[in-house]
A and B are shown apart, each in its own frame.
Chain A
Amino acid sequence: MGDPVTATTEAPATPTAGPKTEAVPAISLSGVTKTFHSGRETITAVGHLDLDIEAGEFFSLLGPSGCGKTTTMRMIAGFEEPTTGVVRLDGDDVTDVAPNHRDVNMVFQSYALFPHLSVAENVAFGLKRKKVKAAEIKRRIDEMLELVELGGHGKRKPSQLSGGQRQRVALARALVNQPRALLLDEPLAALDLKLRQAMQIELKRIQRDIGITFVYVTHDQGEALTMSDRIAVMNGGYVEQLGTPAEIYEHPATRFVAGFIGTSNLLTGTAANPTSDGAEVRLDCGQHVLIGQRLTEGERADLTVRPEKITISTDAPDAGLSRVRGTVTDTVYLGSSTHYTVRLDDGTEIVVYQQNARDLSATDVTTGRGSEVWLSWRPSHSYLLSDSPQGGPHRA
């Protein structure tokens, strides 16, 4: 497999004795699995997970519903006990520690604000459990409500607040305890689009300001790409790919990641003429494209290329590029860009996003529907995809 860092399975973080160093991850899951029993059936929620989340990181668990991301978060919070494996916080094994004794706090999707308590009492709840002095509690509540821009709302009941305000109370209630890590379970899912976008920026700002590790569960790829330092893309209980937003978007490792994050074109073929720095892939339609990764002769290869990496033209492109010929079947003009759908001889459809750098108001007949075009992209923009790591611990 290529450079994209997948969750490493080998070399479980050896528990280092002695004083903690900065290298100790804030949260570490090693060999964690979780199975549920439903009648006679056994359901695997988390297949095999090795994950190190660094201190101060904004880390997202991204995946479709049922991928195990929420179960993973609940195991970190302590609401679920792993079937096997170890959960560590700052190097301390907390696998058997109850949630009320774990130094992490969670923001629930439903916010879970106590409806019978005022905003200030909600925020004070955690501090009171820790027997913090009343004056100190008051100071920290005021400070925290200022931070989430709810100063002066302390006496209100949660039912008197808007959705966005409740969301911020939930955030304040968790953050005021200064936890080692803040766990957020789809906290923005219930908000409308505009508020959600504003809160994304807000969350990122707060995270930068206070420097606490954030673990963010979401099914919204846009949210994950916008806010995260690193993302673990999960599917079917396994991590498909782990990396920075750019790594995950630009170099999707598996078919699932390529399909789940953004739009991608999938091409299938057989490797031919391998060289030291790449190979040709003969597509099933007979045309061939170039790839910048090593392959052996005759190997089956699935590759992906992002729509915005492809150039559409009527003239034959340079021979050094990947190039295929096809027929335009659809164009959508979007102002700043145009989306083309191009069909190859065997019916494979390729989506192309072209920036409208030129003035297209004089109708571009050459690339209208039905016209024959060339598509080209750099060999380094073709990425080999591997299978999903389902079915067992995958290789590094």
Chain B
Amino acid sequence: MTATLDATAATPAPPRRRVDWGKWFTRAVIGWLFTPIVFMIAFSFNDIQGRQNVVWEGFTLKWYGRVFDYADLTQALLYTLAIAVLTMLIAGTIGSLLGLALGRHRFRGQGTTNLVMFAAICAPEVVMGAALLSLFLVLGISTGFAAILIAHVMFTVSFVAITVRARVITLDANLEEAARDLGAGAWTTFRLVTLPMLMPAIMAGGLLAFALSIDDYIITSFVAGQVTTFPLWVWGATRIGIPPQVNVMGTLIFAVGVTLAIVNVIVAKRRR
């Protein structure tokens, strides 16, 4: 009798298979996010004969060799990349300084600046695009490359500023004082201490600006004038069938973006 009792006590209850809903939910969300990208990448290898790239017809690498076949598509991509890089640099610089000021100092108009920043993020792009177009017309600024660049810097700068501000707020103010205490002037302190500490946020903000600029369609369509960017070209091509070159370019842009993001994470980790 005792033996039976002991045995019961000693045998652990059979492990119950529990469904980890959190895990499955996470997988589902990731799948949802990545399915379109997987399709885009897959169809860049699609060996199609006609114009329509919607049915799988076999594997080929030939589109990668013929990626620059459409001169106007290549031109559009170059415009887009040029605008995105310039937006990243300009909005990255202005936004970082804005974020630094907002996170570090108290000044008149600080509340208004914050409000305007959030308004720029929240405003529907259609509204912003239309408003910018009429503004450019009133001011006599011709639509085109410069107008697109101005517009892109305008709507991405807030994202950079908010990213950098969040980092500035959590920064230990003693670090800068320590640098001053050890003989560094204001500029040296900024260069050797503040800037390296803010770098992960500045990089993240810059990448965000780059990503927002590279695929913007709505605002760009208002102010582009005669200039055709990559998203505008793709939209225009939908009526006659999107060539696989678009998928190839999309895949390459995605690869570059992922690489930059990974580098950013690794650098941030190594700093810690």
Contacts and interface: CB of A to CB of B under 8 A. Distances in A.
A116 B183 contact: no
Contacts of A99: 177, 180-181
A106 B197 contact: no
B38 interface: no
B272 A112 contact: no
B241 to A, nearest CB: 51
Contacts of A395: none
Contacts of B180: 78-79, 98-100
A106 B175 CA distance: 12
Given A112-B174, A112-B175, A125 B182 contact: yes
Contacts of A174: 181-182
B178 to A, nearest CB: 4
A115 B185 contact: no
B218 interface: no
A95 interface: no
Interface in A75-133: 77-79, 98-101, 104-106, 108-110, 112-116, 125-126, 129-130
A173 B182 CA distance: 8
Given A112-B172, A115-B197, A130 B181 contact: no
B184 interface: yes
Chain B interface mostly helix, strand, loop or mixed? helix
Q: How large is the interface on A (under 10, 10 to 19, 20 to 34, 35 or more residues)?
A: 20 to 34
Interface residues of B, number: 19
A6 interface: no
Given A129-B184, A129-B188, A115 B178 contact: no
A177 interface: yes
Contacts of A115: 197, 271-272
B193 interface: yes
A113 B181 CA distance: 12
A348 interface: no
B179 interface: yes
A110 B188 CA distance: 22
B177 A112 contact: yes
A314 interface: no
Contacts of B174: 108-110, 112
A356 interface: no
28 contacts: A77-B181, A78-B180, A78-B181, A79-B180, A99-B180, A99-B181, A100-B181, A100-B182, A100-B183, A101-B183, A106-B178, A108-B178, A110-B172, A112-B172, A112-B175, A114-B175, A114-B179, A115-B197, A115-B271, A115-B272, A125-B179, A125-B182, A126-B182, A126-B183, A129-B184, A159-B272, A174-B181, A177-B182
Sort A-B residue pairs by CB-CB distance and give the 8 closest, nearest first.
A129-B183, A126-B182, A112-B174, A112-B178, A99-B180, A116-B196, A108-B174, A106-B181
Interface of B: 172, 174-175, 177-185, 188, 192-193, 196-197, 271-272
Given A99-B180, A108-B178, 4 more contacts: A106-B177, A114-B178, A116-B197, A125-B184
